[in-house]
Amino acid sequence: MSGALRIGSRGSKLALIQSTWVRDELLRLHPDLRVEIEVIQTKGDKLLDAPLAKLGDKGLFTKELETAMLDGRTDLAVHSAKDMPTEVPEGLVIVAFTAREDVRDVFVGGASSTLSSLEELPRGATVGTSSLRRRSQLLALRPDLDIVDIRGNVQTRLRKLEEQGMAGTILAAAGLVRLEQPELASFAFAFHQMLPAVGQGSLAIEARAGDARVAGLVTPLIHERTTLAVRAERSLMHALEGGCQVPIAGFARVTETPDELGVARLLLRAFVGSVDGTTTVRGELAGPAQAPEGLGIALADDLLAHGADQILAEVRGAA
């Protein structure tokens, strides 16, 4: 198969590692294909001084990449799936979710940190994160902590930790694995402590709707179990009318044990909390793996019925 394929990518080290992985996989599958990566800055990459929650989340890290595809400059875009809004612009479609890396959040302490659990953090310690999801869950566990906004790539955040005397920050384990720096993590959060962002750990490959050539090229990169899980998570998020900058977490996985009829099952867990962590709603639900959207909607309805509607209304009112 011949011809060039143009991949749109954000310019950070992690984004380029992710896009390069997709490029290399495509070249492995299609040796005669020519693949180019075009770096495109997004709004979220340019406005690093403002807290994410103040910028809004409609395509903060995706819009410029999507415009390039719609304009014909690129053929596909590689995103961290957790950055993808639940509504994809008309004319575009997600053609693949890749196999997940470690889906957990991890605590990254300063250079001299010897922490091995959240309980070891000193009372009143300062922790940096721009994520309302992480802030809410962290304060629900440790209301004594001082949470401050911190943004930038891993190297920038580590520098800010030292400069500002913070105890640490929270990052996605998947990002550290892809950066080949997993040793930076002091410890990983258990799921009962901190649920990850919707889609965390997977890459989302987006292309123009109806582009059969591109869809065919990336089909082998689709990971079925991850796709089912992320579809359930994104359905939950959509039903809650949430986004990247709302304190919502969701994580689904295909269970190892099918039901009595041999049908694969999905277990979906979710969290909705106030920004200060004082009010939280958690839930989980299992259902047939082949109906992930229905599972996401059902769990969202349950969360809303148990108080998530009031929490989200207050969060949006304060934004």
For residue range 231-277, list pLDDT tens digits in order: 999 999 999 986 656 899 999 999 877 777 777 899 999 999 999 99
My answer on whether 86 and 109 are in the same domain is no
Model confidence at 48: pLDDT above 80: no
**Structural element, H or E, at residue 272:** strand 265-273
Model confidence at 119: pLDDT above 70: yes
Residue 156 lies in a domain: yes
Residue 171 burial class via C-beta count within 10 angstroms: exposed 0-12, middle 13-18, buried 19 and up = buried
Domain range enclosing 261: 230-318
When pLDDT is averaged across residues 75-90 and rounded to a whole number, the result is 94
My answer on whether 149 and 124 are in the same domain is yes
Model confidence at 2: pLDDT above 50: no
Residue 195 lies in a domain: no
Residue 113: the pLDDT is 79
Model confidence at 21: pLDDT above 70: yes
301 is catalytic: no
Model confidence at 18: pLDDT above 50: yes
Residue 302 lies in a domain: yes
Q: How many CB atoms lie within 10 A of CB 112?
A: 6
Is the full-model pTM beyond 0.85? yes
Residue 112: the pLDDT is 72
In the chain, % of residues over pLDDT 90: 77
Residue 4: the pLDDT is 86
My answer on whether 307 and 249 are in the same domain is yes
Residue 206 lies in a domain: yes
Q: Which two tokens stand for residue 95?
A: 């053609």
Q: Which among 57, 83, 102, 105 is annotated as catalytic?
A: 83
Q: Provide the CATH number for the domain around residue 244.
A: 3.30.160.40
Residue 1: the pLDDT is 41
What is the amino acid identity at position 273?
G
My answer on whether 169 and 253 are in the same domain is no
My answer on whether 145 and 84 are in the same domain is no
Q: Provide the CATH number for the domain around residue 51.
A: 3.40.190.10
Residue 275 lies in a domain: yes
Residue 193 lies in a domain: no
Strand duo 280-288 + 265-273: pairing: antiparallel
Secondary structure of residue 78 in the 3-state scheme: strand
Residue 59: the pLDDT is 65
Residue 50 lies in a domain: yes
Residue 243: the pLDDT is 63
How many structural domains compose the chain?
3
Residue 194 lies in a domain: no
Residue 30 burial class via C-beta count within 10 angstroms: exposed 0-12, middle 13-18, buried 19 and up = middle
